[in-house]
């Protein structure tokens, strides 16, 4: 007898494997990897005698940080036009350009050509202008042409610090809503051409008090002030305060006062202290609708000028009538309605 | 009949990016192949079928010696090789795309009658390179692309299934198995890492989720390519192995 034993075995599974070769590519990111770090370039330029024009050329080709370029430029004698060429074609940080100009004798015309092409921050330009020896007239066409509403004080601050051509300032102010007070503060500090300031004021609602404060501080031509006052709504009191201080020509003042409702009381106060021609005062009063009572207050004050002779004043007060005033040899006034006298 | 190595296939994912901005990954695209043998030297290409009826258009794309991407679409002429003369001499093969699936096997080879670059089996429509037109950048850059390994055995399950990166000559690749078999996960673009994928380097076997690949099932394989800041250009390969056991 025998035993048949059938044994089954299992050795798991048969191994199987397949490999696949996959191709790939990755280009060398040349542009990205070698993207010029301009800050680094600037740092280099500061430490050696680089050709800044080369730096400019590099900057033009990429989005540069102009601040970095400025930093570089400050450390060496640069050709400013090169920097201008850069700023002209990109959105530069104008403040950076300005800070650059401060540190050297930049060619401000180049800066101007930049500013004309963009909405420059004129404060920055002004700060720049204060430090170098610039041609400030260049500032004029900038301000006229830039679209930014500039604080005029900024230009003013610049002008105080140098011998400027006020005409340039005028040209600027005409083109925008300037703050004339700034102009005044400028003009006080130098031998301004007041006619230019006058021309400026005519073009806008100037604050004549500011102009007056200018005139007080220098020997100005009042006729210019007069021609100025005509088209603008001025405070005649301010003009008077000017006239009192300086040796004004009252004819000019008369010309000013005539077409407007001047406060003749103020004019009277003026007459009391100024060396005037009374006929001129009369002409003023005649043209303006002044109350005669006010004029009466003037007469005693000016009597010293007319003693020994007679003065006749005519005043057109209202439609109601005309008055004649007579000062006799005794210094007394006589007043009649016009129907009582023969003019 | 046990599972043979030839039953384990590699395919494209539905979204194979050609830029850093497009959706990447997705489900398996079983008509797209990922394996070819690049031209060993600059050469022009020709293509032919083993079926005379195949006259559909084939578009070949490569880089010329200057590095530019060049392409030509040409109608196949059956079993007669069609030379892609307009494509010209190429330095590398990028992709081949058929306008429609061929009846026969399409062979793309160096011209004339040179070494085979790629074959497109009947029913398949394309073969391509991964990380197409990618490039290093100023900083380190990581990109991800997806392929699939599929068990095409009719009935048998590949047990103890695992993936392994077996070769990475450029030392730039890691791979990671998709978190599920037959998944369709995508990423916004190839610079975005896929979720729930663990990447491993050469020689590290990574089990297929669930441990096996049933007949007809596929496992997504994410390839991670890291290029250092300003890294030099590479044209290379990496080798992925799908292994397991079969009865």
- Residues B231 and B243: their CA atoms lie apart, in Å, by 33
Query: What distance lies between CA A117 and its chain's CA centroid?
Result: 19
Residue B246 near residue B2 (C-beta atoms within 8 A): yes
Terminal C-alpha separation, chain B: 8
Give the residue from chain A lying closest to B231, CA to CA. A28
Hey, is the C-beta of A10 within 8 angstroms of any chain B C-beta?
no
Residue in A137, A147, A122, A125 with CA at minimum distance from that of residue A171: A137
A201: confidence class by pLDDT, cuts 50, 70, 90: very low
User: How far A96 CA sits from the closest chain B CA (Å)?
Assistant: 27
* Close Cβ partners of A24 (under 8 Å, ≥ 6 residues apart): B129, B130, B131, B170, B172, B173, B223, B225, B234, B235, B236, B237, B238
A124: confidence class by pLDDT, cuts 50, 70, 90: very low
Task: Return the structure tokens found at B94.
Answer: 């990028």
What is the pLDDT, as a whole number, of residue A83? Answer: 44
* Tens of pLDDT, residues B60-82: 999 998 889 999 999 999 999 99
Q: Which residue has the higher pLDDT, A339 or B45?
A: B45
Please identify among residues 76-105 of chain B the ones whose CB lies closer than 8 Å to any CB of chain A.
92-94
Hey, is the C-beta of B130 within 8 angstroms of any chain A C-beta?
yes
What is the Cβ-side half-sphere exposure of residue A193, based on CA atoms within 13 angstroms?
Answer: 12
- Residues A14 and A100: their CA atoms lie apart, in Å, by 79
Residue A331 has pLDDT above 70, yes or no: no
What is the pLDDT, as a whole number, of residue A282? Answer: 52
The ipTM (two decimal places) reads 0.91
Contact check, Cβ <8 Å, A16/B158: yes
Instruction: Say if residue A200 is exposed, middle or buried (CB neighbours under 10 Å; 0-12, 13-18, 19+).
Output: buried
Please identify among residues 23-42 of chain A the ones whose CB lies closer than 8 Å to any CB of chain B.
23-30, 32-35
Please identify among residues 145-204 of chain B the ones whose CB lies closer than 8 Å to any CB of chain A.
147, 149, 158-160, 166-167, 170, 172-173
A142: confidence class by pLDDT, cuts 50, 70, 90: very low
- Residues B133 and A166: their CA atoms lie apart, in Å, by 63
- Residues A176 and B182: their CA atoms lie apart, in Å, by 71
- Residues A258 and A287: their CA atoms lie apart, in Å, by 5
Residue B225 near residue B173 (C-beta atoms within 8 A): yes
Q: Which residue has the higher pLDDT, B142 or A150?
A: B142
- Residues B22 and A25: their CA atoms lie apart, in Å, by 17
Q: Which residue has the higher pLDDT, B165 or A341?
A: B165
Residue A163 has pLDDT above 60, yes or no: no
- Other Cβ atoms within 10 Å of A293 Cβ, number: 10
When mean pLDDT is compared across A91-100, A283-292, B113-122, the lowest value belongs to A91-100
Residue A47 near residue A68 (C-beta atoms within 8 A): no
Query: What distance lies between CA A333 and its chain's CA centroid?
Result: 53
Per-residue pLDDT tens digits of chain B, which is 247 residues long:
899 999 999 999 999 999 999 999 999 999 999 999 999 999 999 999 999 999 999 999 999 988 899 999 999 999 999 999 999 999 999 999 999 999 999 999 999 999 999 999 999 999 999 999 998 887 889 999 999 999 999 999 999 999 999 999 999 999 999 999 999 999 999 999 999 999 999 999 999 999 999 999 999 999 999 998 888 889 999 999 999 999 8
Task: Return the structure tokens found at B221.
Answer: 């394989």
Residue in B235, B220, B219, B229 with CA at minimum distance from that of residue B16: B220
The DSSP secondary structure of A251-320, one letter per residue, reads HHHHHHHTTTT--HHHHHHHHTTS---HHHHHHHHHHTT--HHHHHHHHHHHHHHHTTS--EEEEEEETT
């Amino acid at each position: 007898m025998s035993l048949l034993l059938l044994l089954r075995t299992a050795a798991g599974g048969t191994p199987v494997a397949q490999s696949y070769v996959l191709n790939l590519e990755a280009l060398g990111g040349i542009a990205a990897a070698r993207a010029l770090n301009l800050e680094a370039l600037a740092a280099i330029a500061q430490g050696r005698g680089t050709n800044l024009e080369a730096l400019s050329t590099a900057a033009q080709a990429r989005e540069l940080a102009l601040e970095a370029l400025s930093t570089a430029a400050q450390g060496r004698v640069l050709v400013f036009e090169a920097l201008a060429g850069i700023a002209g074609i990109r959105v530069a940080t104008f403040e950076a350009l300005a800070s650059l100009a401060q540190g050297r004798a930049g060619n401000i015309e180049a800066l101007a050509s930049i500013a004309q092409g963009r909405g420059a921050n004129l404060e920055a330009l002004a700060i720049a202008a204060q430090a170098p020896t610039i041609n400030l007239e260049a500032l004029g066409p900038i301000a006229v042409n830039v679209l930014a509403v500039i604080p005029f004080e900024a230009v003013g601050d610049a002008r105080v610090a140098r011998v400027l051509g006020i005409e340039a300032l005028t040209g600027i102010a005409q083109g925008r809503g300037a703050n004339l007070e700034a102009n005044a503060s400028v003009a006080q500090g130098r031998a301004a051409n007041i006619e230019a300031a006058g021309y400026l004021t005519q073009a806008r609602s100037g604050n004549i008090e500011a102009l007056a404060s200018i005139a007080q501080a220098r020997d100005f031509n009042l006729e210019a002030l007069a021609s100025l006052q005509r088209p603008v709504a001025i405070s005649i009191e301010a003009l008077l305060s000017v006239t009192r201080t300086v040796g004004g020509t009252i004819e000019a003042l008369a010309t000013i006062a005539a077409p407007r409702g001047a406060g003749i009381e103020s004019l009277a106060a003026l007459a009391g202290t100024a060396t005037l021609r009374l006929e001129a005062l009369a002409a003023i009063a005649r043209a303006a609708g002044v109350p005669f009572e006010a004029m009466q207050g003037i007469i005693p004050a000016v009597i010293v000028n007319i003693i020994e002779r007679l003065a006749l004043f005519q005043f057109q007060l209202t439609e109601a009538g005309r008055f004649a005033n007579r000062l006799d040899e005794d210094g007394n006034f006589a007043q009649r309605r016009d129907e009582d006298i023969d003019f | 009949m046990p599972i043979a190595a030839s039953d384990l296939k590699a395919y494209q994912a539905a979204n194979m990016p050609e830029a850093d901005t497009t959706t990447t990954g997705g489900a398996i695209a079983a008509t797209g192949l990922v394996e070819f043998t690049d031209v060993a030297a600059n050469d022009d290409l020709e293509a032919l079928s083993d079926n005379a009826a195949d006259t559909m258009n084939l578009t070949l794309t490569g880089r010329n010696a200057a590095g530019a991407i060049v392409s030509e679409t040409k109608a196949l002429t059956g079993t007669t090789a069609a030379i892609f003369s307009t494509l010209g001499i190429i330095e590398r093969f990028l992709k081949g795309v058929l306008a429609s699936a061929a009846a026969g096997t399409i062979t793309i080879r160096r011209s004339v009658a040179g070494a085979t670059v790629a074959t497109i089996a009947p029913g398949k429509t394309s073969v391509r390179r991964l990380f197409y037109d990618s490039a290093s950048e100023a900083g380190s850059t990581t990109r991800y692309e997806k392929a699939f390994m599929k068990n095409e055995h009719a009935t048998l399950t590949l047990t103890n299934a695992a993936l392994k990166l077996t070769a990475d000559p450029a030392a730039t690749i890691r791979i990671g198995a998709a978190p599920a078999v037959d998944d369709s996960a995508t990423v916004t673009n190839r610079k975005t890492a896929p979720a729930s994928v663990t990447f491993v380097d050469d020689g590290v076997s990574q089990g297929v989720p669930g441990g096996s690949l049933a007949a007809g099932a596929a496992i997504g394989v994410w390839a991670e390519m890291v290029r250092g800041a300003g890294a030099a250009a590479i044209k290379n390969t990496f080798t992925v192995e799908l292994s397991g056991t079969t009865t």
